[in-house]
Chain A
């Protein structure tokens, strides 16, 4: 990988292994790199332990979304979803367990898949992408059960409310849709558009929603409009965060909200609407943030963006070191 390619690399997605000791990251060249966290975090870590233990080309196009189940790593790029067994990846074998494509209406263009989430209750995979629809696939049989139609433009992000088993989806059309029990597609949904509320709207950036996160009753959404915290039962925005750029990913963590987006920093915000801290990091703009909460020893946060380096935070207040592709 030459220096020019490294310069133009962007990391789009990350996922931690089920044991919490490995990190998989996908970039815009279609490669997935697996890093060993236990080697990088051990006291005698060296420059070599910050390189991936395995780097292989998974898709033709960029890897926009990575997701880990208990045994497999799912990666999605241009229209197809591949599954890799974590046990095989750790042993450095790069053979895919399976590759599937959702059924698209037109077979001419293959839309990209931007987001994937898992519904643990009925073991189904929910994907959303460029064809404005949400496809639901049963993990055991591999059959695409249903399609949720409703968005008028492509879908950026998906989120799952576990208590009520509802899917939230945000897209380029600026609408956040809530899908209920999907025995009948589109059984009931509500739309709350970020543009509708004047406090969040930022017309200079557009109305697209690129990040969604939910914490039972509360929802974070941001993108073109400012990042804002909504109370779902009353469908009203309660706080708007004064962050300058467009936020690409946000998560709830304990009593904080962490978000990344344009700008070389991770923002820590409080629910009240104040920005508590902005931690600087190496990429000039960030695309993805991942928290490793499964493993207490390697409890880290990793961020990746428009750089070939992925920053690792052991204490969430400062950057510890960087892994590089």
Chain B
């Protein structure tokens, strides 16, 4: 029965000029679902219709046969409607999956970008950490040295002390010079006085010698 149906489909496709009849046949042979039931129903319908047309039934039998054919036709229509709905559903599912696929692609690329950004951030953070550590190391060394202000103050105090001491030194030197000069003056006066006294003595002794020589004459 199904083979006959496939031959009908094949003829239809030949008329349409499609090349994939083998594919269609293979697929239909594989899908062993409702296809067999529908085929049988359609064939039974055709047979009973021709029988109904050609035979002489009594009106009640004819009517009941007619009702049976209508039910079978309704069943065929129902199954066709179901298949159409399933087909629509498949199409919609495909669209849905396409959308999800595109979404996932986008999130992958954005994750890649975020990873690259984070890597750059890490490099920056490492550089910053290195700079901070170098700064800390230098700061430790600098802290070991005394404060600049204090050192400056110490320097100033030392400067002032130095100046004071040099003042004192100048004063002392001046005094020394003055005393030296005074002593010099004193000593020269004494020496001159000594000279004058010696001269006087000498002159006196000369005088007495002259007077005694005059008296002796």
Contact = CB atoms under 8 A, between A and B. Distances in A.
B68 interface: no
Nearest to A254: B126
Interface size bracket, B side: 10 to 19
A69 interface: no
Give chain B's interface secondary structure class.
helix
A257 to B, nearest CB: 10
Contact of B134 (A218, A234, A236): A218
B1 interface: no
B137 A273 contact: yes
A280 interface: no
A272 B141 contact: no
A236 B140 CA distance: 11
B133 interface: yes
A183 interface: no
Given A218-B134, A271-B133, A272-B136, A234 B141 contact: yes
Contacts of A234: 138, 141
A255 interface: yes
A270 B133 contact: yes
A238 B129 contact: no
Contacts of A254: 123, 126-127, 130
**Interface range for A:** 10 to 19
Given A234-B141, A236-B141, A238-B138, A272 B133 contact: yes
Contacts of A270: 129, 133
A236 B138 CA distance: 9
A271 to B, nearest CB: 3
A178 to B, nearest CB: 19
A101 interface: no
A238 B137 contact: yes
Interface string A243-284: 000000000001100000000000000111100000000000
Contacts of B133: 255, 270-272
A239 interface: yes
Interface in B106-163: 123, 126-127, 129-130, 133-134, 136-138, 140-141
Nearest to B122: A254
5 contacts: A231-B138, A234-B138, A238-B141, A255-B133, A271-B133
Interface of B: 123, 126-127, 129-130, 133-134, 136-138, 140-141
